[in-house]
Amino acid sequence: MRNEFAAAVIAAKANNENLVFITGDLGYMALEKVEQTYGNHFVNAGVAEQNMVTVAASLAYEGFVPFVYSIAPFVTLRPFEQIRNDVCLHNLPVKLVGNGGGYGYGIMGATHHNPEDIGALRMLPNMRIYVPLVADDVEQCVQQMIADKNPNYLRLNLAAKFHFAVPAFAQWRHLKHGDKAVLIATGPILQNIADLDETTYDGLDVWNLSVFPVKEIPKALLAKIAQTGKVIFMEEHYGEGGMRETLSYHLLASLQQPVKVLSLAAQGYASGKYGSQKWHQEENGLSGNVFVEKVQSFV
């Protein structure tokens, strides 16, 4: 999604002179055209992420709309205090962009992974989080972020690719009808569900969640959960603080009967080893044989 993001902010600059792009000394082979387009409005802040966010907040206070780009943990966790105090408490339109959410940076290890970014940022006041699913979502996210007067975070990853048409970007999207269990996923991890064999996949009623915070669950989704009595949460993020936690609250408040729940979420580093993003997904039961067995058994 990095290339789609670069193309989107380049296109947006033509109609938004107040856009500023700030990077923490990265973006090789992706941001060169952004730098050319933005000129003096492109700032390489260096390896100084806390200062980078404070600079962005200052620019936003003066009427600019700054995009702040880095690897996900470097733009969410390292400057967390500055995001809270300088950006969110003043409700400034700073647009944070993290590449490689979850285990996206694979073999580079835990310092470059970010399975807690949604949870960390969604608790902050005024913050809105965008989690695109497919490549075409990225441009829509960028446009909505520019129009949004609140602080935002865009979580980039490898885009999912499906054999079926995906509805236009929205907070909630109903992707597939099924009658055995409801599955709700956020982010491109949903690809792994679509790759299941037809026997398992056909029984799932599949929904995608792409924007946080969540104020309510669609009535059609609640009705389907009540009908099947089963719901699966799937996220390349810790369940604590993530989608599972926020949706569980709404289900408790809205449903009149108990439902069975399966949580497929990041568990950390059980083996103490590092590998590719797909390897970490398999170790965490988000892909591979263990994942298939869990879903089949539950459905």
- Phi, psi for residue 241 in degrees, rounded to 5: 85, -10
Average pLDDT value for residue range 89-96? 98
| CA 79 from centroid of its chain's CA atoms | 18
With respect to residue 165, please indicate whether it lies within any of the assigned structural domains: no
Q: Give domain status of residue 167, yes or no.
A: no
- Domain holding 112, by residue range, is 2-156
Is residue 60 one of the residues assigned to a domain? Answer: yes
Same domain, 53 and 180: no
From 95, 130, 156, give the residue that closes a domain: 156
Write down the pLDDT at residue 165. Answer: 87
Domain match, 103 and 51 both:
yes
Q: Are residues 198 and 270 in the same domain?
A: yes
Contacts of 268 (CB under 8 A, 6+ apart): 115, 238, 284
Rounded Cα gap, residues 99 and 34, in angstroms:
16
Tokens coding 194: 């679509």
* Domain-embedded: residue 164: no
Question: Has residue 121 got a pLDDT over 90?
Answer: yes
Asked if residue 262 belongs to a domain, the reply is yes
CATH number, domain containing residue 98 = 3.40.50.970
User: Distance between CA atoms of 40 and 38, rounded to whole angstroms?
Assistant: 6
198: pLDDT strictly greater than 70: yes
Do both 85 and 44 map to the same domain?
yes
Q: Are residues 17 and 151 in the same domain?
A: yes
Residues 189 and 68 in one domain: no
Q: pLDDT, tens digit, for every residue of 279-293?
A: 999 999 999 989 999
Same domain, 147 and 37: yes
Are residue 151 and residue 242 in the same domain, yes or no? Answer: no
Average pLDDT over residues 25-44: 86
- CATH number, domain containing residue 227: 3.40.50.920
Q: Is residue 166 part of a domain?
A: no
Q: Is the pLDDT of residue 3 over 70?
A: yes
- Among 156, 190, 220, give the residue marking a domain's end: 156
- H/E element, 232: strand 230-238
- pLDDT tier at 28 (50, 70, 90 boundaries)? low
Domain assignment of residue 36, yes or no? yes
List, in order, residues 6 or more apart from 217 with CB less than 8 Å away: 247, 250, 251, 254
pLDDT reported for residue 54: 97
Burial of 294 (0-12, 13-18, 19+ CB in 10 A): middle
Domain ends where: 100, 130, 156? 156
In a domain, 10, yes or no: yes
**In the predicted structure, residue 27 carries a pLDDT above the cut 70:** no
Q: How many angstroms separate the CA atoms of 280 and 299, rounded?
A: 24
Within this chain, do residues 17 and 134 fall inside the same structural domain, yes or no?
yes
Task: Based on the fold, state whether residues 285 and 225 are members of the same structural domain.
Answer: yes
Query: Do 199 and 73 fall within a single domain?
Result: no
**Nearest Cα to 84, choosing from 61, 48, 113, 50?**
50
> Residues 152, 217: one domain?
no
Mean pLDDT of the chain: 93
| Number of domains making up the chain | 2
